[in-house]
Amino acid sequence: MRRVLVTGGAGFIGSNFVHHWCGSYPDDRVIVVDALTYAGNRNNLAAWEGKENFRFVKGDICDRSLLDDLLGGENIDTIVHFAAESHVDRSILTPGAFIQTNVVGTFTLLEAFRQHWLSRNQPDNYRFLHVSTDEVYGSLSADAPAFCETTPYAPNSPYSASKAGSDHLVRAYYHTYNLPTIITNCSNNYGPYQFPEKLIPLMCINILIGKSLPVYGDGCNIRDWLYVGDHCRALDVVLSKGLPGENYNIGGNNEVKNIDIVRTLCDLMDELAENLPVSPSQNLITFVTDRPGHDRRYAINSSKIQNQLGWSPSVTITEGLRQTVIWYLNHRQWWEPLLSEEYQAYYRQNYRVATLS
């Protein structure tokens, strides 16, 4: 039985992970600590609120005394660290928050966990799983081999630089203090509960409300898409079989151009949704000014986790996109409140438009 602290568990991947973990291991104790920033949504965890083995704590990972209380008071043996500022476009507009949460927050969490682990005489079964991104490796040219665990770091955005900084700290805590840390670097996730600002939910929602679909640059940037449930299964495997001090790349083997993702979403919505405001949806596609420093291509070589730990992705991109479109179609009551004044202000600033149009 584990006693797990999930940071950022009210966000997209964190909440999917809580659903996976609480469903798979009902005897484990799960504590979520989440600051509930604009990206955090306690409703994502409603299914577990009130359950005996689940506790939600609103709090910041930069708050050392809160972390000390939680780690000691709950006798935590496992941290799964998702909490982060996670959106590249926001990191270009407001980088300071990324340094604070991603670097200072991860450092604070590592220090708190190190003290806690020492106070319990360094048990073998303790784990600090740091959930990171393939973006730390930078950008690939069209024919370059996919990122593997030994690819040098070359982050290009304030987001990826702050995640790279946190990865380096986590690595250093293993090498310096023997703290049992593991790092995972995953490709772009998609699926239920993803905040509207990211590519796939943004396109789904804009189609449903009849707003233009802003595609950056020529639309030929490539991402390697992974269904979020497959990512959660990979983290589970890493927790049970992964070795401290190791890093594991996780990816879907699904390299797709952004424009092809957007066109597929349009076709799925045209097929599945009734009474769309604009039809066919592809009429909404608008090419807009490119993101500064936009990485051209990401691709993950996940043979290490596949060969050493026996994980592989199970959801095809065709099936995953279909399921995701159906989820956003059926969960208007989840996403409508997220199109808040804060979101509209971000949208106007990022896309340099007068309204969400």
Catalytic annotation, residues? 134-135, 159
Among positions 56-115, residues that touch ligand TYD (CB under 6 A) are 88
How many residues are listed for the chain in this entry? 357
Which residues have CB under 8 Å from 312's CB, separation 6+?
302, 306
Q: 78 or 102, CB closer to ligand TYD? A: 102
Q: Which does 14 bind (CB under 5 to 8 A by kind): ligand NAD, ligand TYD, none?
A: ligand NAD
Residues pairing with 78 in the sheet: 4, 127
Q: 41 or 281, CB closer to ligand NAD? A: 41
38 interacts with ligand TYD by CB under 6 A: no
Candidate list 202, 207, 237, 238; residue touching ligand TYD; CB under 6 A:
202
Candidate list 114, 130, 211, 223; residue touching ligand TYD; CB under 6 A:
223
Among positions 250-289, residues that touch ligand TYD (CB under 6 A) are 258
320 interacts with ligand TYD by CB under 6 A: no
Phi, psi of 227 (to 5 degrees): -65, 135
Q: What is the dihedral of CA 165, 351, 200, 339, to 10 degrees?
A: 100
- The C-alpha atoms of residue 12 and residue 36 are separated, in whole angstroms, by 12
Which residues have CB under 8 Å from 283's CB, separation 6+?
none
Which residues have CB under 8 Å from 108's CB, separation 6+?
61, 62, 63, 64, 67
297 interacts with ligand TYD by CB under 6 A: no
Q: Smallest distance, Å, CB 88 to ligand TYD?
A: 4
**Looking at residue 300, what DSSP letter applies?**
B
- The C-alpha atoms of residue 157 and residue 88 are separated, in whole angstroms, by 7
Contact segment (CB under 6 A) with ligand TYD among 15-23, 92-100, 210-218, 267-275 equals 210-218
Binding site residues, ligand TYD, CB under 6 A: 88, 188, 198-199, 202, 214-216, 221, 223, 258, 291
